[in-house]
Structure 1
């Protein structure tokens, strides 16, 4: 069985380049869904809140293919990011896809794998951490479900456009520092609960790093962002590989 990991696609439209790439990748998975597991590690869409009726219509082809994959025996797990939250009301209740808000451990190919979006990699980003705490507050969730989806779609697209500009500039100016944050975070959380591999996103910086602890090799992989390149991580048995879907499909 092949396990696939995707993060930070920030899709705006099915017909854009990355939307089309994801659609073709889902066609590939749906050729034999029982042989694949799909882990969506957050920020798959540029914005998705609540049951997302407006979002479902906008991304209908992608939603249909993911639903088909799940229905036909494929395993799917959706980790919330900072552009998709309170989404279990649609993805879990309607499609039966588990939505995970925090980190979680999985046994994959004999590896103990820690998966998460990566919200806590940068402890100095207090503005983001405060935003995360507010948006995930129990009082906010009912508002997200009540307010019409078309408003959230307009609001999310506006805020996401501003966020992308800021993130792109900051990432370009601080790439080395962000990589060091990713690596330091992996080493820190390993001491809290050991694993073989940690896979994260959020930082928009691709990084594949190996470190040792008491003679054991540990691997940290941050998936970067599809705004740069449509990368996915694949684990099959003991084989771990990052794949550029531009060449794969």
Structure 2
């Protein structure tokens, strides 16, 4: 279990589901400006920043090529890590295909599976959330195809102009990829990430389960001393998580 000590006056920040690049260049650019403004704002007192996936609506790393754009976001993240503030990235279902660029260029570790962290004695189970729980079966089947080494090998042989354009089209249009199922709260018994967290609690204790993917800001008590958190998104809600070393809360960013 990875451990982080939050110094007095510092905080840990969490954000997820920016989907930069969608649905249009202009709309994405406006949301990116807001997110970069938030990054610069939280840098003032951040002990660490967690990004829980789907930062991009599509991302694929060829051996010598990455998707065009997002310069302001990437530059700000480099500035933050260069200043000594650690950033942790959990890839989501839209940015599955990361293969070293964030680590080498930005100094940001990338996690492909949920991880456990202990922050000032609080135990956190952190991940994007895609493919977890008893449902999401259609996406689970699709993810096996996306992560298949042979499928990735064939995709790399497409010219980036064709490959990126094709992937962006399906990323926006295909509901299984985009995750645009009903974004209303389904009730605790039908929220599959809540059910997943409850099963994990039967095996070990966690103070907080922190996920993205669902695009809904949610805080659901699981037990007296355990809470499920969904961070929301940077499309409709502009919400993020804050852990001050003792308590976790969701906040809304309004620049």
Corresponding residue for residue 124 of structure 1: 135
Q: Unaligned stretches of 5+ in structure 2?
A: 1-9
Please state if 1:157 is matched with 2:155. Answer: no
In 2, the alpha carbon distance for the partners of 1:135 and 1:178 equals 29
Map Cα deviations across residues 97-119 of structure 1 (whole Å, 9 max, x no partner): 11100010111232110101112
TM-score by length of 1: 0.85
1:198 counterpart SS class: strand
1:229 Cα shift? 0.6
Q: Distance in 2 between matches of 1:83 and 1:91?
A: 15
Q: TM-score, with normalisation over the residues of structure 2?
A: 0.83
What's the offset of the Cα at 1:196?
1.0
| Partner residue, 2:250 | 242
Return the alpha-carbon distance in structure 1 between the equivalents of residues 251 and 212 of structure 2.
Answer: 15
> In structure 2, how many angstroms separate the alpha carbons of the residues matched to 1:180 and 1:126?
14
Contact 1:182/1:222 (CA < 8 Å) preserved in 2? Answer: no
Provide the residue aligned with 1:182 in structure 2: 193
Which residue of the other structure, out of 203, 207, 212, is the alignment partner of 1:201? 212
Give, in whole Å, the separation in 2 of the partners of 1:41 and 1:225: 10
The alignment yields a C-alpha RMSD, in angstroms, of: 2.6
Distance of 1:69 and 1:164 partners within structure 2: 34
**Cα distance, 1:223 vs structure 2:** 1.5
**Is the contact made by 1:23 and 1:65 (CA closer than 8 Å) also made in structure 2?**
yes
SS in structure 2 of the partner of residue 93 of structure 1: helix
Shift of the 133–217 alpha-carbon distance from structure 1 to 2, 3 Å rule, reads same
Deviations 1:33-59 (Å, cap 9, x if unpaired)? xx431111111111111158452x411
Distance 1:144 1:65 in 2: 30
Q: CA deviation at 1:233?
A: 0.2
Aligned: 1:231 with 2:242:
no
Contact 1:54 1:150 in 2 (8 A): no
Aligned partners of 2:35 and 2:234 also within 8 Å: no
2:103 and 2:110 in contact (8 A); partners too? yes
Work out the number of aligned pairs and report it. Answer: 240
Whether the 8 Å CA contact 1:79–1:102 is kept in 2: the answer is yes
Counterpart for residue 24 of structure 1 = 37
Partners of 1:171 and 1:178 within 8 A in 2 = no
Pairwise CA distance, 1:148:
4.1
Contact 2:131–2:139 (CA under 8 A) maintained in structure 1: no
Q: Runs of 5+ in structure 1 lacking a partner?
A: none
